[in-house]
Chains A and B, each alone.
Chain A
Amino acid sequence: MGGQGTERRDILRYIGMAAIAGTFPGFSKWVFACPQGHSETTTASQSTGPYKPLFFSPQHYAMLEHIAEMIIPEDGTPGAKQAGVAEFIDFMVANRVPVSASHDIRSTEDAIEMGNGAQNRFIAGLDWMNARCNSEFGRSFMDCTPDQQNGLLEELAYKAKFKPTTESGRAFFQLMREYTVVGYYTTKIGLESLGYPGLRTVWPKMPGCTHPDDPEHANLREPVS
C-alpha cells in the first residue's frame, strides 16, 4: 500500500490510520503540555509573561492572532486565541515548517519550498491586508471596524464574494487558514470542540500497555464484545 496525493492519502486514512487518531489526538494545549519546550529558543518565553514571537513583529503578530480568531472564533467552545494558534504559526513559520490542513504536501521539493517560502508569504500577505485596508478605509487592518475586517476576510474566503483585485489576498488567506486550522485542531482545546473525550479504546486495561498510569486511562470504558 502506499501512494500519495490528496485522494490517495484519504484512502490510506481508512486503511492505515484512523481519520482522527492519526491526525488530531491531543490532551492539552501544545505549548504548555510540551515539557521540554517546543524549541530551545522559546524556553525563556515559556514560563513567564506573554509569548514573545520568534519571527513576527509585534504588529504582525497581533494581526495574526486577530485573524486566526476571526477564522476560528470562540462560540461556545474556545477559539483560536485560547488555543494558542498564533504561537503555533509563529513557531512553524520561524522554523520554516510547511503546514497543510487539507492535503498532504505532494513532493518533498514542494514541501521544502513551501516551508522556506512561508516567511515571505506571511509578511507579504499581512502587508497586503494593511495596504488594502488603507486604500479602502484609510487605515490599517487592526484599526478597521469589526465589520470592515469581516467584510474583507469574507471577500477572500467565499467564492461568491471573490473580486478580481484580491487574488494575492486570497492566496494569503488560504495559507493563513491552513496554518490556523492545523494549529487549532491539533490542540486539546480544538479537539474538545469536536467532542473529544480523551484517550479511549475498547479496552480499559491493555495488557502490555506501557503507560497504565496515564491519567487519560480514567476515561477508558469497559470492554465491549
Chain B
Amino acid sequence: MTRDVLQQKYDAIVVGSGATGGWAAKRLSEAGLKVALLEAGRSVTPKEFTEHLPSFKLKYRNHSPEVLRTRPIQKQCYACMEYNYEWFVNDLENPYSTPPDRPFTWQRLRILGGRSLVWGRQSYRLSDVDFKAASRDGYDVDWPFAYADLAPFYDIVERYVGISGAAEKDEMLPDGQFLPPMKMSCGEVRLREAIKAKFGRTLTIGRTAILTQPHNGRVPCHYCGPCERGCMTFSYFSSPFTTVKDALNTGNCTLITDAVVSHVDMDTSTNKTKGVTFINRTTKETKQVRGKAVILCAQALESTRILLNSSTPEYPNGLANSSGLLGHYLMDHVVGADASGTFVDMDELPTANPPHRPNGIYVVRYRNTPATGKHPHFIRGYGFQGGASPRFNTDAPGIGAEYKKAVKLGTYHVSLGAFGESLANFDNFCEIDPDLKDVWGIPALRISMAHGNNEAALMRDAGVTAAEMLEAAGAKDIHVRTGVEMPGMAIHEVGTARMGNNPKKSVLNAFCQSHDVHNLLVTDGSCFVSSACQNPTLTMMAITVRACDHLVERFRRNEV
C-alpha cells in the first residue's frame, strides 16, 4: 500500500465490501465522491471458485476435519464446507462469547464480498404490513419510513442485481422488477394449486438474485447447482464482481483489503468523525484513514462492535450511543419449524444429470394479514421456503442389490421450512466482552439473545400449517418439526442500531445517519426496526442506496 492511499482525505470511508458495502461504494463513487472501501478480508478471484469440482477431488470428499477444527461455529452454517471454508472466519481467531444459557451462532465471512459470496440469494421485498406493523398490533414501533419511500430504491437495486421471479399481486409480498422466473417442478405446481384452492395461500417460485437472461453484462445461470462454492460466470449476485467492480471502475474508489477496522476516530472539537483506525490483517500494523464521512457496512453485529469500541469521553458507552440503545434489539428470524413428505404417486425418477435449479419455492405469509385478520395466539407471521423434486433415496432400508435399486428409484420429496419474524426486544443485545479480544487485539462481542414465546408460537403454528398444506397436496409420510432453533441459525441477524425519528429511542435517523454524529452512517442490517419474516438482504441494499443518495445530497448542499 502506498503512503498516498492513506494520506489522501476521502469524502467517504466505507467499511465492509459485502452486500451493503458494495452498494455504498458504487453509489457514492458514481456520484463523484472520493471513496475508500475498507475490507477486513483478502481479495477473491474466480480462480478459487469450485462449483464444478467433484467432491472426490477434495482430500476428504467434502468432509474435511479441518473445517471442524478451525470453524466449529461456522460449520453450523450449511454452506460452510471443505470447498469454501477458508472464506468463512476462522473461529479460533475471531472469538465472541455468549451467556451459557443464551447461545447464538454467528456465521460470517471475512473476504472481499463478505457473505454475498455464499448467500442463498433469496430476495423479497417488505411491505407496509411490515413497516407499519406496530400501528396494527401495538407491539414496539413503526419504521421511520413507509413502503412508498423505499419502493424506488428496491426498483434500483432489483434492476441492477437482476432478480428472477414471478409477480403474484399479494399485498404481503410486493412484486418487483423481475427477470423471467425459473420453472417450478410438477410437485411444486401441485402444491401451489392445492394450497391456493384449499387455503387461498400464495406459493410462488423463489425470487432469487440469479440471472435467467443476460443482464448488465453478466450471463445467465447454467444451472450447475452449488452456488455457495462461487460462480465463475457471475450469474448470481455477489458484490466483488458487480457493485465493487463498478465502484473501482469509476476511478473514484480506492479498495483497501486486509484492513480490519477497530474503531471510528472522532474529532471532539467538531463532534464529527475524522476517519477510522484499522489493523492490517497480516502485518498487524495499525493505520488510519481520513474522510469526511464514515459509512459502516460491516454487517449488523460487526458495525455495532466497531461503534462500541469507539468510545470517547463524550460517548463513554460507545460512539453514537447517547440513546443507550446501541447493541440492543438484536433480531434473527426464528427457524425450527418445517414439514416434509413424499408424493408417492408421482413416478418421475431422480436424475444425476444437471440442470439443477439453484432455487426453491416460497409460500407468502398468511398470518395476521389485513385479509386473514388477527391470530388469537401470536402476532406477526412467517413465510416458507421449500421445494419438491424426486431425489435419490440413500435412506432406503436394507442392503444389497435391492438397496441399490431403491436408491436409484428414489422418492418424490416435498418440504417446507418456516422463517418467522423475530420480535424486537431490548433484552436481546450485544456488548463488549471485557475479557475477550480477537487476534488483532480488538475487543470482542458478547452476544445475548433468546427467542421468546411469540417466536415459539409462530413455529408451532408453522409446523402444523405446513403439514396441512402438504397433506392438502396429497403428500404421504409427513414429518413435522415445531421447534425453535438457536438464534443466529437463520443468518438473518438485524437490529442493534435501530432507526427512528426520536434520538432518545433510536440510534440512527431514517437515512441511517447517527443522531449523535452527523457524518457517521450505518447502512447494513443494524438499522432494522423489525425483522419482518422475509430474507433481509434486498431490503438492506435498498436502504443503503437510499441512505447513500441522501448523503450525496448533503454533500451537494455542503452539509457534511
Contact = CB atoms under 8 A, between A and B. Distances in A.
A7 interface: yes
Interface in B347-361: 350-361
Nearest to B46: A210
A21 B122 CA distance: 19
Interface string A91-112: 0100111110110100110011
Given A3-B489, A210-B46, A11 B338 contact: yes
A127 interface: no
Interface residues of B, number: 89
A5 B338 CA distance: 10
A207 interface: yes
Contacts of A5: 336, 481, 485
A18 B357 contact: yes
A139 interface: no
Interface in A138-181: 153-154, 157-159, 177, 181
A16 B75 contact: no
A39 interface: yes
A45 B358 CA distance: 40
Contact of A29 (B56, B408, B491): B56
Interface string A9-42: 1111111111111111111111001101011000
B120 interface: yes
Contacts of A102: 394-395
Given A2-B491, A108-B72, A158-B397, A11 B52 contact: no
Interface in B27-84: 46-47, 49, 52-57, 59-65, 68, 72-73, 75-79
B392 A97 contact: no
A63 interface: no
B52 A199 contact: yes
Interface stretch (B149-157, B304-312, B411-419, B544-552): B411-419
- Which secondary structure characterizes the binding site on chain B? loop
B107 interface: yes
Interface string B510-536: 000000000000000000000000010
User: A interface, how many residues as a size bin?
Assistant: 35 or more
A17 B226 contact: yes
Interface stretch (B18-26, B228-236, B280-288, B364-372): B228-236
Contacts of B356: 18-22
Interface of A: 1-5, 7-30, 33-34, 36, 38-39, 70-73, 75, 77, 88, 92, 95-99, 101-102, 104, 107-108, 111-112, 115, 153-154, 157-159, 177, 181-182, 185-188, 191, 193-197, 199-203, 206-211, 214, 216
What are the 10 A-B residue pairs with the smallest beta carbon separation, nearest first? Answer: A18-B356, A14-B387, A18-B225, A21-B225, A30-B56, A196-B352, A201-B222, A1-B120, A11-B417, A2-B491
Interface of B: 46-47, 49, 52-57, 59-65, 68, 72-73, 75-79, 107, 119-120, 122, 206, 219, 222-228, 232-234, 335-336, 338-340, 350-361, 385-389, 391-392, 394-395, 397-401, 403-404, 407-408, 413, 415-417, 419, 479, 481, 485, 488-492, 535
8 contacts: A10-B415, A16-B358, A27-B54, A75-B404, A101-B395, A157-B397, A194-B352, A210-B46
